[in-house]
Chain A
């Protein structure tokens, strides 16, 4: 049982990264438009995030240092600052969207306009960070987020032709009526969603919050290799449900309610109940993850005391930053900006910040001064180098693709 409770950092990190409000919708959009022909991107993304999250978690366990600490130290104050601005901007936009996302999920349950829930949700996000112990927080939201497995159950209930789904997934091609740039744009979005920088900020800082040390490296690996593939599995299940139910009807997905439709049709009210619990937990978890990440990265860049393991007064500037970003995020969403659109754009911008985040992790994970015998192995380094090239290509392609395709329209 103890082992089971220890994996929720990884699960919460992955749920916040793979199935937050933007990805819930993006996965369904992709399924309804491209079938499973983009499934390969999710697989590449899962392998990539496992690789780098494992490194960042290992560095955190061995040295007690969060990822942004390394970013500043290895890139220097100027490039570090550029990364800080870019990734904090993305993380903040995502935070705002998630606050709206929790409210949208509550709207599905009550049909009361989501805007009315926004202030309450923002307060609760802050309150959980202020009062709830870190471990309790990750266990509660990680566990409730597993309710999203309803998508996998629904997929099985829908009784698809598995061999056809597998064929689509293993023979990627651009469907008729869709252009190559649009296809690539969605590939970049999905890849960006899998590898958003706040996942490693949160995961590595969470490892420090939990006081992991060298002897927790097994727990760390278990978290990575259980959490992120689970996140990938959920996003594939969402896409597959949309492929089976929405694609044949020519439905273009714009809203969370449409994402739920396949589950409603196959599992009925019980399925919807699970789904709403899962939606709320996943978006709330992502809100916690992004709010904390904003505080973590800024504090680590500037060398402030950070974290939830001490009383808030001991990490005053950290808690001030978290509180202010939650309030600003709620205000942004109260302008009636569509939360789903906000994350779609923020994903693309996050793709731009990717290489600057992952390069320092790779460098430090290879430094025997820090890591002793826990430095990267050769296979990991070879794979990680390939990914850095890929991340750089994606970073340069992201914004031109967004402009060329009008964000995938």
Chain B
């Protein structure tokens, strides 16, 4: 559903000015950075599924991924969207970032409580967000 929304949005995006293009690039870089954090955590969950890593390592890995994603999110929040089209783009990116950071913090909490068995399910829930972030990142390169 959201993939569709992203597609529609992207189709409507023609950059009329430098400002718009600049904003799109920032959105793309934001998506790329958060996708990297998500992928890291998902690989970590994969290691947990296969009993290849313990709690201390995964807490650090997922904790750092979450911290990075939050930092990127707050930087993007500080960027002023130049016009209405950019507002729509911002809305989409914001939603994706929110679902990424929420998912990451759920994973971090589960991990620190020692529920490593819950990580794979939580990670699976994040895959669609990851796909959309990657799609955005690729499109606004």
Contact (Cβ within 8 A) A111 B60: yes
CA distance A193 to B33 in the complex (A): 26
Q: Contacts A265-B47, A268-B53 hold; do A111 and B40 have CB atoms under 8 A apart? A: no
| Chain A positions within 8 Å of B32 at CB level | 250, 252
Among A135-143, A254-262, A296-304, the stretch in contact with B: A254-262
CA distance A252 to B63 in the complex (A): 16
Q: Contacts A109-B56, A250-B39, A272-B53 hold; do A257 and B61 have CB atoms under 8 A apart? A: yes
CB-nearest residue of chain A to B46: A265
Contact (Cβ within 8 A) B52 A268: yes
| Chain A positions within 8 Å of B70 at CB level | none
Q: Contacts A111-B59, A177-B141, A261-B44 hold; do A254 and B53 have CB atoms under 8 A apart? A: no
Distance of A51 from chain B, by nearest CB (Å): 38
Distance of B108 from chain A, by nearest CB (Å): 11
Contact (Cβ within 8 A) A251 B36: yes
Interface residue from A111, A254, A264, A265 paired with B68 (Cβ < 8 Å): A254
Distance of B59 from chain A, by nearest CB (Å): 4
Q: Contacts A108-B56, A272-B57 hold; do A261 and B40 have CB atoms under 8 A apart? A: yes
- Mark B11-27 against chain A: 1 for CB-CB distance below 8 A, else 0: 00000000000000000
CB-nearest residue of chain A to B62: A257
Q: Which parts of A206-264 form the interface with B (CB within 8 Å)? A: 245, 249-252, 254-255, 257-258, 260-261, 264
B54 in the interface (beta carbon within 8 A) = yes
| Chain A positions within 8 Å of B50 at CB level | 268
B55 in the interface (beta carbon within 8 A) = yes
Contact (Cβ within 8 A) B52 A264: yes
| Chain B positions within 8 Å of A261 at CB level | 40, 43-44, 47, 61
- By a beta-carbon cutoff of 8 Å, the part of chain A in contact with chain B is 107-111, 177, 245, 249-252, 254-255, 257-258, 260-261, 264-265, 267-269, 272
Known: A107-B60, A269-B52; 15 extra A-B contacts, CB below 8 A, are A108-B56, A110-B56, A111-B57, A111-B63, A245-B43, A250-B35, A251-B43, A252-B36, A254-B68, A257-B61, A258-B40, A258-B61, A261-B43, A264-B52, A268-B50
Q: Lowest 7 CB-CB distances: which A-B pairs, in order? A: A268-B52, A111-B56, A249-B39, A257-B61, A111-B59, A252-B36, A255-B64
- By a beta-carbon cutoff of 8 Å, the part of chain B in contact with chain A is 32-33, 35-36, 39-40, 43-44, 46-47, 50-57, 59-61, 63-64, 68, 112, 134, 137, 141
